[in-house]
Each structure stands twice: as C-alpha cells, then as structure tokens.
A = this chain, B = another copy of it.
Amino acid sequence: MNIIETRELTHVYRGKITALDGINFTAKPGERIAIIGANGAGKSTLFKHFNGILKPTSGNVLIKGESISSKNILDVRRTVGVVFQDPDDQIFAPTVKQDVAFGPMNLGLSPDEIEKRVRESLETVRLTGFEERAPHHLSTGEKKKVAIAGILAMRPEVLVLDEPTAGLDPGGAMRLIKLINEMNRYLGITIITATHEVDIVPLLADRVCIMSRGKIIGDGTPLEIFSSPELIKKTHLRLPIVAQLMEMLQEEGVPVGVKFTLEEARDELLRVVK
C-alpha cells in the first residue's frame, strides 16, 4: 500500500496562482525520494498538503490509503513529519529545549521518554548545550537544526524535508544526510526531500521526481533522470558536478561513463588511466 498518494492534486492560491496542477504522486513505505525543480515549481506547496496544512483546491491526498479529514488529521500529522523550508515557520517556544519537547509532549509521552527524545534529537543535530537558548536568537543554520530536531523527536513514519541542507555548513549537511539514510535503513522511515543541491541527490534518494510549473514531468532513478539533459536544462537544473566533469571528458573523447558520486567517478577514472 502507498503510504502517501495524491490523486489529481491541484492547488490554486487565492483564486489566481495555480501552484499545483493535477499531481499524481505516490510514495511506498521505506522509499527515498528526492523532488527537484526550479524556484516556484510548487515543491513546498506539495509538501504542505502531505500533512494537511494546505487543503487541495481539487483532488485528493491519501495517507496510508485514507483521505485526510478533520477526523484523522492528528494521526496524519503523527505519521508524516514535515520540516518546512523556512525554520521560522517551525520554531516558536521560548527555549530550544521546550521547542523540541513540544511535539513529544502533545503525543502524550511520559516525561522520561520526552527527556530522552529531546536529548537524542539535539545530539543528532549537534546542538547540545543550546537547550536554554531562545530559538529565534540563533544563526540561520542553528535555527534550521532546531526545526529538524523538533520533527525528529516525534519519530514520524514519513519524514518530509523541504531543502534540509540550505543554510547548513557542509559538515552539518553531510551529518544530516548520513542520519537520514540511517533512519531509512534501520527504522524503515520513508524519506521525501526537496532540494536544489543536485550534488546531494544521488546520496539521499533512489528515486527522483522533477517538478515544473506545478506538474511532475519526470520520475525515475537518479541515473535515468540525469541522463536526459533536455529535461534537466528545461527546468533550470544542472547535473551534479561530478557528472558534469565526466560529460566534459566524454566530449573530449575520453571513454568514460557518466557517474554521479565521487567514489564511482574515482573508480571510473582509475579504470581509464590505468
């Protein structure tokens, strides 16, 4: 069964701006999906439907096969944890600790469990020591980390991340990617990410969807997607840097295949050189 499914999902902002236009999207439990697309393509709008923050203008969103309604909305939000693009949309409590504890508290967990989850989440994003700071007085990257910790602490079945690495330093970004992959591998959590950083796409997704002007216009493995240059070009995206280099070498007549991650590229080049 699909854990998330949208049927002909359309969203029109204030009767004028069609941000989503007949989206049919499905995610199976345990998948790792990346959604890429130009600015204004509709990624964030789509994500806000996954936990019922926005309501479809037409069409349907099904979570575990059930349409979102006021009856099951709390369950939906427990199942699907969305980290918004702008951390200011997500943090509001007077201290970092209270902010991270807010979700678990609402789930009615025991104080010990809450304490434990808060500690673990803050460790994960390396914010231990920030417990008593005011979240709105942090640097942008630190805010982002608080927002992520707040959702991690709820242990959702599906983790939806809107530009999780924007504003994080490279060290923090790599750590987050590693964490996301571990959550997927060991806990079976479904991961859906929107990002502009195409270089990390091969690292955190097995499936890539391309959005353009409110429609999904491409869906496949990273290899399939990045092998169709017109599609990429049309949507203001680019290939991962590694792939660009391999392509440039191909053009110069070097017999290499196009690769997307550093390790693969190294091996491919070693093959050619030796």
Residues of A within 8 A of B (CB): 13-14, 37-40, 44, 85-86, 88, 137-142, 145, 163, 166-174, 196-199, 236-238, 241-242, 244-245, 248-249, 252, 254, 262, 265-266, 269-270, 272-273
Contact = CB atoms under 8 A, between A and B. Distances in A.
B254 A273 contact: yes
A40 B262 CA distance: 28
A88 B88 contact: yes
Most buried by B among A140, A142, A168: A140
Contacts of A173: 196
A269 B241 contact: no
Q: Is chain A's binding surface mostly helix, strand, loop or mixed?
A: helix
14 contacts: A39-B141, A39-B167, A39-B169, A44-B140, A166-B167, A167-B196, A171-B237, A171-B238, A197-B197, A199-B199, A242-B245, A248-B262, A249-B273, A254-B273
Contacts of A245: 242, 245, 262, 265-266, 269
Stoichiometry (number of copies): 2
Contacts of A242: 241, 245
A34 to B, nearest CB: 14
Contact of A236 (B85, B171, B237, B262): B171
A262 to B, nearest CB: 6
Contacts of A244: 262
Contact of A272 (B168, B236, B273): B273
